[in-house]
Amino acid sequence: MTKAGNKVSKKADPAPARDRRYAVAGAAVTAPPLPAGLYLVATPIGNLRDVSLRALETLAAADIIACEDTRVTRKLTGHYCIATQLTPYHEHNAAAARPKLLARLANGDAVALVSDAGTPLISDPGYRLVREACEAGHTVNALPGASAVLAALNVAALPTDRFFFEGFLPPKAVARQKRVGALAHMPATLVLFESGPRIASTLAELAAQLGPRDAAICRELTKLHEEVRRAPLDALARDYAGGAETRGEFVVVIAPPPDEAPETAVNIDALLRNALARASVKDAVGEVASATGLPRREVYQRALALGKEDGDGAAP
């Protein structure tokens, strides 16, 4: 202590260093220092083990983690013993929270941004923060990882060379009907998110406007009760109208319209001739229809025409 007149002053102790460790398989690991900037960190969509080591290092070393729901993100940070401060950043508080995060970036902090599950900016307001961070000259880093969109495309068994991510359809019936109509001729596989309470009504609308396209319903991906149902849209709509399990989170994947499907560029006649050489007309038609996405009746008519052209007199 030093005396200054009648006042006694004490030099403040330096703030204790924050714990920048994480734990994997019971072993504590110290995260390396993190340069200032915004870090977009993909987190698991269900299974907590679906996270990268780089993501754990970044979350542990960051000065703050901005997340949609602190309770959800705390399950991940708690599982890996990460002590970094969490702050909410979501669609309802983004306008007020964003300037504070930008101020921290300007102060030289490392800010991590996560969503409740999967890759940030997919169906969340993160892009505005990214845009303003870039405009202010801050470094923005992407840490890729889990994504419900890509996971669903992987298991849907539908074309993946071109897809359109729609996100959630409008909740109100009229708006939803109009939006589905606008998507009807999209020349790509469609990927949508949906909630359990609305999955049955959404599938009914999709089947009514898109017809019996092949589709996949992916429920609770990577979680304990993961389920994937693959069938034409009309059959899936009947399943969920009849009592199929609606608890959990859903990703709906729908094949492109038949006349837009990437596979239709192949020579249908060649496929049919090849199939007819080793199978019945019925089986050949089914095989080609499944491979091309064309309606069975259209493939069947073409098989009959080929039979006449080849002089076989192809019959049902």
Phi and psi angles of residue 169, each rounded to the nearest 5 degrees, phi first: -75, 160
Residues 253, 215 contacting (CB under 8 angstroms): yes
Confirm or reject CATH 3.40.1280.10 for domain 149-260, answering yes or no. no
| Per-residue pLDDT at 144 | 96
Domain ranges of the chain: 21-146, 149-260, 266-310
Distance of CA 301 to the CA centre of its chain: 39
Q: What are the residues whose beta carbons fall under 8 Å from the beta carbon of 8, sequence distance 6 or more?
A: 1, 2
| Per-residue pLDDT at 11 | 46
Q: What are the residues whose beta carbons fall under 8 Å from the beta carbon of 108, sequence distance 6 or more?
A: 36
| Per-residue pLDDT at 149 | 97
pLDDT tens by residue, 143-174 = 999 999 999 999 999 999 999 999 999 999 88
Question: Bridge partners of 39?
Answer: 112, 141
| Per-residue pLDDT at 264 | 45
Taking 50 as the pLDDT cut, the residues of the chain under it are: 1-15, 260-266, 312-316
Q: How far apart are CA 157 and CA 14, in angstroms?
A: 58
SS3 313: coil
| Per-residue pLDDT at 311 | 62
| Superfamily (CATH) of domain 21-146 | Tetrapyrrole methylase, N-terminal domain (3.40.1010.10)
What global pTM score does this model have? 0.75
